[in-house]
Structure 1
Amino acid sequence: MVVDKPAGLLCQPGLGSHQQDSLINRLQLACPALRLVHRLDRDTSGLVLLAKDPDMLRLLGMFFASRRVRKLYVADVQGQMENVSGLIGLPLARLKRQPPTYGVHPGGKACVTLWRRLKLMESSTRLWLCPRTGRSHQLRAHLAALHHPIIGDPIYNPGCAVGLRLRAMALRFPDPDDPSGQVRVRAPWPAWFNA
């Protein structure tokens, strides 16, 4: 199952009673067997993949582990990015626990993000983002490291009143029922896309 998670909702419960409302808790009210295959940050909206049984969870988990799942995001970042496309290959590590904050560190985990400019605006740039690894806060930390933080990011671009302009737009992965086929899912454009 693929669902469109709204911004501001945790994928799974956090620590403390104030962080118990989550996507998985809501969905399990209707279908208790559902399990998350991957997660999005609370402030990121978009597509999340879930499994309906343990066998499918294992299979989809193997697709993620072997990097056979392609994810595509759209984001608005501060400033104008001169190049049309690029690759960010900076290693990331957790630098702070509360709130969890990640940044470039020589001892960090290898991370690769591909990006392509979608639209150049007056004081910002709209990008397609394709993470080739799946580290926590990868897209947000990588763009902040380039001094082009995502607009509305409460951790890497504080002081911006709008919500996080990052959306998981598309997923592509092998069809579990047809090894030669692909499953492709695309989300609707975010409300801020035409703002």
Structure 2
Amino acid sequence: MPDSSNPEQPGGKADFIVPYCDEAIAYLHTDDDLLIVSKPAGLLSVPGRHPDNKDCLISRINQDYPKASIVHRLDMATSGLMIIACHPDSHRALSRLFQDRKIYKEYQAVVYGKVASMEGFIDLPLACDWPNRPRQELNFNYGKRAQTHFEHCGVNQEGHSKLRLIPVTGRSHQLRVHTASIGHPILGCEFYAHPAAKAAADRLLLHASRLRFTHPTSNTELDISLPAPFWS
């Protein structure tokens, strides 16, 4: 059955009402072409299908920037940095950067248990698990290529590993499936974590922590970082 907890994903139930997110959006960069903002965990990137799920990142931003539009998304449960286009020309230029993989992204995550390797590379193809949407699955027959670098950044007080995740590709749920595939699911993940890992955190411990790219208009490099609130 589709999981109703994330109405941003295909197959999420339209009648699921997302709890209101009290945390405000943080603006880390603003100019005439684009914004870089921090999305709180628990806030939709775009409106949900239910009439009561209209509150979201872009609806809040449009109160101050009426012409702003979404270029990419984070799952509702994921916090962190997002790029917002201020006008159609900027949207097209930024979309090309994403398509050409010219935007460098880092995520911070806390995963279950102690990861033995100090770094690694996961190259496992992903496809939609159609009977169980929005879940994704490893699929070596017709899955799309998915690649993730990871770096071990220490162990927290509870004995779980802090990882820096650097996706090469941008598949749906890629970081969640890849970490689970090596036996270390992200804490608080309702889709791929076993019960102990799911119960170990009251939110998904996944945060988009860094964006680096060349500004499509000024040609200057933007390099914005924001550590996760659970990283210390």
Q: Normalising by structure 1, report the TM-score.
A: 0.92
2:65 counterpart of 1:31: yes
- Counterpart of 2:86 in structure 1 is 52
- Counterpart of 2:223 in structure 1 is 184
| CA offsets 1:151-183 (integer angstroms, 9 cap, x no match) | 01121125415211110001011122343x311
2:123 counterpart of 1:123: no
How far, CA to CA, are the matches of 2:124 and 2:155 in structure 1? Answer: 24
Higher helix share: 1
Q: CA deviation at 1:85?
A: 0.5
Report if aligned partners of 2:162, 2:231 keep a CA contact under 8 Å in 1. Answer: no
How far, CA to CA, are the matches of 2:215 and 2:230 in structure 1? Answer: 32
Q: CA deviation at 1:23?
A: 0.5
Gaps of 5+ in 2: 1-34
2:197 counterpart of 1:162: no
Report if aligned partners of 1:103, 1:142 keep a CA contact under 8 Å in 2. Answer: no
Over 3 Å counting, the alpha-carbon distance change for 1:142 and 1:18 in structure 2 is farther
RMSD (Å), alpha carbons: 1.6
- Counterpart of 2:180 in structure 1 is 144
3-state DSSP of counterpart to 2:81:
strand
Report if aligned partners of 2:108, 2:228 keep a CA contact under 8 Å in 1. Answer: no
1:81 alignment partner, one of 115, 120, 144: 115
- Counterpart of 1:108 in structure 2 is 143
Alignment of 1:84-99 (within 5 A): 84-96=118-130
Gaps of 5+ in 1: none
Q: Percent identity?
A: 38
Following TM superposition, the consecutive aligned residue runs of length 4 or more in structure 1 with deviations greater than 6 angstroms are none
- Counterpart of 1:64 in structure 2 is 98
Higher strand share: 1
Report if aligned partners of 1:5, 1:45 keep a CA contact under 8 Å in 2. Answer: yes
How far, CA to CA, are the matches of 2:86 and 2:132 in structure 1? Answer: 33
3-state DSSP of counterpart to 2:114:
coil
Q: CA deviation at 1:73?
A: 0.6
How far, CA to CA, are the matches of 2:80 and 2:133 in structure 1? Answer: 22
Look up the equivalent residue of 2:62 and give its one-letter code. Q
2:59 counterpart of 1:5: no
How far, CA to CA, are the matches of 2:120 and 2:212 in structure 1? Answer: 21
3-state DSSP of counterpart to 1:88:
strand
Q: CA deviation at 1:120?
A: 2.9
How far, CA to CA, are the matches of 2:102 and 2:152 in structure 1? Answer: 24
Q: CA deviation at 1:15?
A: 1.9
Q: Normalising by structure 2, report the TM-score.
A: 0.78
Query: For this pair of structures, how many residues does the alignment match?
Result: 192
3-state DSSP of counterpart to 1:192:
coil
